[in-house]
Amino acid sequence: MSQKLEKLIDKKGLRLDGRKPEELRQIKIEVGIILNADCSAYIQQAKNKILAGVYGPRELHPKHLARPDRTVLRCRYHMAPFSVQERKSPAPSRRDIELSKVMREALEPSIFLEYYPRTGIDVFVEVLQADGGTRCASITAASLALADAGIPMRDLVVACAAGKIDNTVVLDLMDTEDKKGSADVPVALMPNFNAITLLQMDGILTHEEFEKAVNLALDGCKRIYVMQKEALKAKYESVKEVEE
Amino acid sequence: MSSVIVRIKQKQIAELIAKEKRVDGRGLSDYREIKVEQGIIERAEGSARVLLGKTEVMAGTKIGIGRPFSDTPDAGVLTVNAEFVPLASPTFEPGPPKENAIELARVVDRGIRESEAIDFKKLCIKPGEKVFVVFVDVYVLNHGGNLIDASALAALAALLNTKMLNYEIEEDEVKIKPGYTPLVVRKHPIAVTIAKINDKLIVDPSLEEEQMMDTRLTMTTDEDGNICAIQKGGSGTFTQKQVLEAAKIAREKAVEIRKKLKW
């Protein structure tokens, strides 16, 4: 972090990929593309290509993990060996384990877990290509997959990161900005409740910059939320068209 | 303890917190008593033991020589690992670290790394080939709640009395010379964990409070008041206002805790 070798923001105030500081990357979301999974979602955010699939509620194995009063949500965040510059071993890294945990904790508040006692819901996320901000994109996709699976939810969970590069607080960091910038703040939100379900940070920020970054990330979340809802509707609209 | 007693106790904790009180008599933003001992394991390059109420954590540092990462050829390496030893709690099992231990180690790591407490460039012996590797091993000896803060404090305290090997390069070989120099620690990041119970923020949750909290937020700040690491844990939610309030509390509390360290 904080290696200021090259400029991340040019004189016109534009970033390496030509974005303004408060601009999101191109996002494409699709719902229901893996036929086998109970439900699935795909998100593409610049070079990020992420698949999320949901199985369940179903019988939980091993059985001793089952809870008499609620379902057990399990998440697995995994990166394909070819998703990054240097081959990543397919075995789960410590980072993968931490991200699986924070992802689960980001999604749990949105689900009515008590509706399916003694069962388990499995969420699998595969990062096919990583370009910075994969945990946020994963959460956005996973939440859609859960919704598409018909699991009763309070709200969708949407995530977006803000950060600091070249002394400027910016939205939605890409890989280079994440590595060379000075801070990264991923945030997940249930927009209808204004409830933050994930918050992490690494880097150095003053109190004021942190406040600004959180506000910017929340704003980004709300913008992605619109696209998320559209993607969900789009699946059912296409079904309707076929019927007609 | 049987679950009936646990339920009764949890109800009591919740009722007290609503009245801005806690079962152990603390205020909502009070820490339990903190004790720090440094340099207690002679064989380690640096060591410390932290007592935080009933929580007891030991941290030891070892210095080794290894290869740098390919994307940072001229920087030393920091490795933080945490062991939840089975004797510390009936819920800890032997075996490789589980997600809680991994999360804890990574939060401690992030605080030290991102605050730039250690000058990694100074740990480089030969760019691209040999660098010093700083191993920080956190050992949880008794689980009384709020392991993250105790571990982060123990790790920092251990780094503060870490001795670096003296060396010289002879014919491309690293020769270790007798004697030690202290490891330079430039910043003192302190982790402060704030739990949310019934929509109230409380500092330094005890084990009982942790078992019933909605969620927690750990914020690590350096002496300049900058935030250098944050981790939310548990499956509850925070409002934006609560997050900013927590950041303020964390900064104030860190000043208090930093005074417990000697450097």
Mean residue pLDDT of chain B comes to 94
The CATH label, of 3.40.50.720, 3.30.230.70, 3.90.1420.10, 3.40.50.300, for the domain at A27-243 is 3.30.230.70
Nearest to B181 by CA among B199, B171, B166, B195: B166
Q: Is the peptide bond before A21 cis (omega within 30 degrees of 0)?
A: no
Residue B89 and residue B176: Cα distance in Å, rounded?
41
**Do A97 and B102 make contact, defined as CB atoms within 8 angstroms?**
yes
pLDDT class of B6 with cuts at 50, 70, 90 = confident
Residue B130: other Cβ atoms inside 10 A = 19
**Do A104 and B230 make contact, defined as CB atoms within 8 angstroms?**
no
> Quick one: tokens of A134?
């994969």
Mutate to test the interface with A, among B107, B213, B214, B240 (most CBs of A within 10 A): B240
* Closest alpha carbon within chain A to B120: A1
pLDDT digits (tens, 9 = 90+) for A158-191: 999 999 999 999 999 999 999 999 999 999 999 9
B230 touches chain A (CB under 8 A): yes
Mean predicted confidence (pLDDT) in B87-102: 94
Q: Taking CB atoms and an 8 Å cutoff, what residues of chain A touch B226?
A: 204-206
B248 touches chain A (CB under 8 A): yes
Percentage, residues of chain B above pLDDT 90: 89
Query: What's chain A's length in residues?
Result: 244
pLDDT class of A1 with cuts at 50, 70, 90 = very low
**Phi and psi of A195, rounded to 5°?**
-105, 125
**Do B106 and A98 make contact, defined as CB atoms within 8 angstroms?**
yes
Radius of gyration of chain A (CA): 18
Q: Taking CB atoms and an 8 Å cutoff, what residues of chain B touch A200?
A: 230-232
B231 touches chain A (CB under 8 A): yes
Contact A203, A158 (CB under 8 A): no
* Closest alpha carbon within chain A to B110: A202
How far away is chain B from the Cα of A95, in angstroms, using its nearest Cα? 8
Q: Taking CB atoms and an 8 Å cutoff, what residues of chain A touch B78?
A: none
Residue B249: other Cβ atoms inside 10 A = 19
pLDDT class of B2 with cuts at 50, 70, 90 = low
Contact A172, A48 (CB under 8 A): no
Residue A23: other Cβ atoms inside 10 A = 15
pLDDT digits (tens, 9 = 90+) for B21-37: 999 999 999 999 999 99
Residue B136 and residue B106: Cα distance in Å, rounded?
11
**Do A203 and B114 make contact, defined as CB atoms within 8 angstroms?**
yes
Percentage, residues of chain A above pLDDT 90: 88
Percentage, residues of chain B above pLDDT 70: 99
Sign of CA dihedral B11, B16, B19, B20: negative
pLDDT class of A153 with cuts at 50, 70, 90 = very high
Q: Which strands sit side by side in the sheet containing B227-233, from one edge to the other? A: A168-171, A158-165, A183-190, A195-205, B227-233, B215-221, B190-197, B200-203
The answer, yes or no, to whether residue A4 has pLDDT greater than 80, is no
Mean residue pLDDT of chain A comes to 93
Domain boundaries, chain A: 27-243
The architecture that CATH gives domain B29-258 is 2-Layer Sandwich (3.30)
Mutate to test the interface with A, among B232, B238, B244 (most CBs of A within 10 A): B232
Residue B147 and residue B193: Cα distance in Å, rounded?
9
Contact B249, B201 (CB under 8 A): yes
A64 touches chain B (CB under 8 A): no
Q: Tell me the C-alpha to C-alpha distance, in Å, between residue B247 and each of A1, B52, B194, B201, B210.
A: 22, 21, 9, 11, 19
Instruction: Please enumerate, as own/partner, the contacts of A41-47 that have beta carbons within 8 Å and a separation of 24 or more.
Output: A41/A141, A41/A142, A41/A144, A41/A145, A41/A148, A41/A231, A42/A141, A43/A137, A43/A138, A43/A140, A43/A141, A43/A144, A45/A131, A45/A133, A45/A137, A45/A172, A46/A17, A46/A131, A46/A174, A47/A129, A47/A130, A47/A131, A47/A174, A47/A175
Up-side HSE of residue B64: CA atoms within 13 Å toward CB? 9
pLDDT class of A241 with cuts at 50, 70, 90 = confident
A19 touches chain B (CB under 8 A): no
Q: How many cross-chain Cβ pairs, A to B, lie less than 8 Å apart?
A: 101
**Do A197 and B237 make contact, defined as CB atoms within 8 angstroms?**
yes
Q: Taking CB atoms and an 8 Å cutoff, what residues of chain A touch B218?
A: none
Pairing of the two strands B173-182 and B190-197: unpaired
Q: Is B57 exposed, middle or buried, given 0-12, 13-18 or 19+ CB atoms closer than 10 A?
A: buried
**Do B227 and A206 make contact, defined as CB atoms within 8 angstroms?**
yes
pLDDT digits (tens, 9 = 90+) for A69-114: 999 999 999 999 999 999 999 999 999 999 999 999 999 999 999 9
pLDDT digits (tens, 9 = 90+) for A114-145: 999 999 999 999 999 999 999 999 999 999 99
pLDDT digits (tens, 9 = 90+) for A9-31: 998 989 999 999 999 999 999 99
The answer, yes or no, to whether residue A235 has pLDDT greater than 90, is no
Contact A231, A41 (CB under 8 A): yes
The answer, yes or no, to whether residue B7 has pLDDT greater than 90, is no
Q: Taking CB atoms and an 8 Å cutoff, what residues of chain B touch A121?
A: none
User: Which residue of A94, A195, A201 is in closest CB contact with B229?
Assistant: A201
Place of tokens 């919704």: A147
Which residues, at least 6 apart from A66, have a Cβ–Cβ distance to it below 8 Å?
A60, A72, A118, A119, A120
Alpha helices in chain B (DSSP H): 3-18, 99-114, 147-160, 207-212, 240-258
Task: Find the helix or strand (DSSP H, E) in which A53 lies.
Answer: strand A48-59
- The per-residue pLDDT for B1 is 46
Domain boundaries, chain B: 29-258
How far away is chain B from the Cα of A147, in angstroms, using its nearest Cα? 18
**Chain A residues 89-148 within an 8 A CB cutoff of chain B:** 94-95, 97-98, 100-102, 104-105, 108-109
